[in-house]
Structure 1
Amino acid sequence: MASGDGVPEKVAWVLVRGGRVLVTRSHGRDRFYFPGGHRETGESDSETLMREIDEELRAVIDPRSMVHFGTFEIGEGHPEHGPFRMICYSADHRGRLTPAREIAEMAWFRYADRDRVSAVDEMVFDALHMGGQLS
């Protein structure tokens, strides 16, 4: 779904453990992406993230623990589907992470795996690496 300015948006979950970050790959795709998805009409960011993570990974996000990590955007004319905006949150969860629905697999990537994700996801990788969270 697009924002008020017409730019398509995704609400994404950034989960870092031991210098690695969680990414997922959908069936039929080669690239990995941060888990999350598009907001449905009337949904808040927390409602979107909770719904998407339940659908994709069968885990329950604790909305009280959500912290905005950053908003990342690729512009018009970008070779990879620009413009596009990704609003990223870190958050605690309950439950075992289990790929479901459109998710073929999940993985824990290091910074060296940056070339296996989308352009906007690369920006998040850079921010995590610069912040010392991603090895």
Structure 2
Amino acid sequence: MADGGGVPEKVAWVLVRDDQVLVTRSHGRDLFYLPGGHREPGESDRETLVREIDEELQAVIDPSSMVHFGTFEIGEGHPEHGAFRMICYTADHRGELTPSREIAEKAWFGYADRDRVSAVDGMVFDALLDAGRLA
């Protein structure tokens, strides 16, 4: 869950279609998040993303298509949950995006929905907007 420096990390999938990005909301949470999750011991980013997307959305990530989009971090003093790092990848997939039991809903958000995601996810929204990939 954390790197050698002790900062909690998540490996996340950035899937953009029609100027909107895929987000999910877990049961019992109000905010939406990019799909993905924490590494299991010994897992690579690729292995983590493949496993997490299968678990959350029942889709198969093509590991050979993964491209690092960026690493986003908030500092220790952040009120939401302290220090946190999110390592984001784009990737192709096969299969429908069907939420699993742990996911309450999936949605496609534009930049106007930025206030409905976590702080670190908001940083990804900013980067997508700057790259001309989010409307």
TM-score past 0.5 threshold:
yes
Residue by residue over 1:81-106, the C-alpha shift from the partner in whole angstroms, topping out at 9 and shown as x without a partner, is 11000000000000000000310000
SS at match of 2:122: helix
Q: Once the two structures are superposed, what CA deviation does each residue of 1:52-100 show, in whole Å capped at 9, x if it has no partner?
A: 0000000000000000000000001111111000000000000000000
TM-score (norm 1): 0.99
User: Is 1:119 aligned with 2:119?
Assistant: yes
- Superposed, which structure 2 residues align to 1:103-114 within 5 Å? 103-114=103-114
Take 2:44 and 2:100, find their aligned partners in 1: how far apart are those partners? Answer: 23
CA distance in 2, matches of 1:13, 1:131: 16
Structure 2 segments unaligned to the other structure (5+ residues)? none
Q: Which runs of 4+ in 1 moved over 4 A?
A: none
Determine the structure 2 residue equivalent to 1:43. Answer: 43
The percentage of aligned residue pairs carrying the same residue is: 82
TM superposition shift of 1:28: 0.6
Give, in whole Å, the separation in 1 of the partners of 2:94 and 2:19: 21
Deviation at 1:131, TM superposition (A): 0.6
Match of 1:84 in 2: 84
Give the secondary structure class of the aligned counterpart of 1:99. coil
1:117 CA drift (Å)? 0.1
Equivalent residue number for residue 28 of structure 1: 28
Q: Which residue of 2 aligns with 1:58?
A: 58
Q: Gaps (5+ residues) in structure 1?
A: none
Give the alignment's TM-score, normalised by structure 2: 0.99
For residues 69 and 101 of structure 1, what CA distance do their matches in structure 2 show? Answer: 28
Which residue matches 1:9?
9
- Corresponding pairs, count: 135
